[in-house]
Amino acid sequence: MASIIADRSTSSVVDVLAIAAHRDDVEQTCGGTLLVQQSLGWRTGILDLTRGEAGTRGSAEDRASEADAAARILRVSHREALDLPDGNIQNTLENRLKIAAVLRRLRPRVVILPYWQGRHPDHYTSATLGYEACFAAGLSKLNLPARCGAPHRPYKILYASLYSDVRPTLVVDITEHIETRLQSLLAYRSQYSDQNSGSGLFVPEADIRERMFSTARHCGLLAGVRYAEPFVQREVSLTQDLMQIPVQTI
C-alpha cells in the first residue's frame, strides 16, 4: 500500500509545499501546520503565485522582503514567487506549466492548496489551477524543459479551509506554535500595521491576535486540542487499527 512517507530518502527538495495566491496567504491559513511539519523533521516550502503588485497596501518589493522575513520565522526550507498577475490569476495552460515546473523541481510529497470556494477569485482559482498543475506535472510528455526534472505528482493534496464555511475533514494541532504563527503574519508590516489605506478592509492591528487565536481555538475545539488549523481532503481516509483513530467521539 502506498504511504505518505514512502520516499523520505528521495531527491525531493521539500516534503510539504504550500501553494497560495498571495504573499501572506500561507501565514494566514496554514503557517502553523508548516511549523508543525518542520518540527517533525520534514522540509517545508512555500510557492506564492503572485508578487502583490495590485494590493491595496504596500508594493511588490515590500511584500517580497516581508515574505522573506516570514519564511525565516516559519523556518521553511524554500520559498519562491511566480509572476502571475495579482488580482487576475487565470487557469491557463501557461500558468499550469509554470507551477508544474516548480513541482518537478521541488518534488513535494504533500501539497497544500487554498480551498476551492471563497470571496477572492485569486484564491478559488488557485485551488483548481494548483490541482491541475499537480496532475500535469506527472505527465511524461508534458512540454517542459528537461532541466525541470522528471515527471512528479504529489501523493496527497490538502485544501486549507480556515476562512471557508465548510466543516474540515481534518485539523492539525498547532498549539505549540501559535505564537510563532502570529509573528510570521505580523512580519507583513505593510499589510497589518494600522494605516488609513484600506482601513475598511483590513483588521485593525489591535484585533489581529484575538481574531487569529479565536479562529484557531474554534478549530481546536473540533478535535479536542487548544489551537488548530483546518483542512479538507477529497479522499476517504483509510485505517486498519480502530484502536488508534484519534479524536474522541463521546
Q: How many residues does the chain have?
A: 250
pLDDT at 5: 47
On whether residue 151 sits in a domain, the answer given is yes
Helix, strand, or coil here: 188? coil
pLDDT at 1: 34
Q: Minimal CA–CA distance to 112: which of 218, 233, 214, 225?
A: 233
Number of domains forming the structure of the chain = 1
Half-sphere exposure of 7 (CA within 13 A, CB side): 17
Q: What is the CATH number of the domain that holds 211?
A: 3.40.50.10320
For the chain, 250 residues long, give each residue's pLDDT as a single digit of tens.
Answer: 344 444 454 578 999 999 999 999 999 999 999 999 999 999 999 999 998 776 666 677 888 989 999 999 999 999 999 999 999 999 999 999 999 999 999 999 999 999 999 889 999 999 999 999 999 999 999 989 888 899 999 999 999 999 899 999 999 999 999 999 999 999 998 867 655 554 456 677 778 889 999 999 999 999 999 999 999 999 999 999 988 999 888 8
pLDDT at 10: 58
On whether residue 93 sits in a domain, the answer given is yes
pLDDT in tens, 110-130: 999 999 998 899 999 999 999
Say if pTM beats, i.e. exceeds, 0.85.
Answer: yes
| Helices 178-186 & 31-39 angle (0-180, nearest 10) | 130
On whether residue 174 sits in a domain, the answer given is yes
Cα end-to-end span (Å), the chain: 31
On whether residue 118 sits in a domain, the answer given is yes
On whether residue 8 sits in a domain, the answer given is no
Parent domain of 46: 16-194+202-233+240-244
Residue 242: C-alpha distances to residues 116, 134, 235, 239 (Å): 31, 32, 19, 7
Residue 16: phi and psi, rounded to 5, are -125, 125
On whether residue 5 sits in a domain, the answer given is no
Q: Minimal CA–CA distance to 37: which of 4, 15, 11?
A: 15
DSSP 162: T
On whether residue 9 sits in a domain, the answer given is no
On whether residue 249 sits in a domain, the answer given is no
CA atoms of 168 and 225, how far apart (whole Å):
15
pLDDT at 202: 61
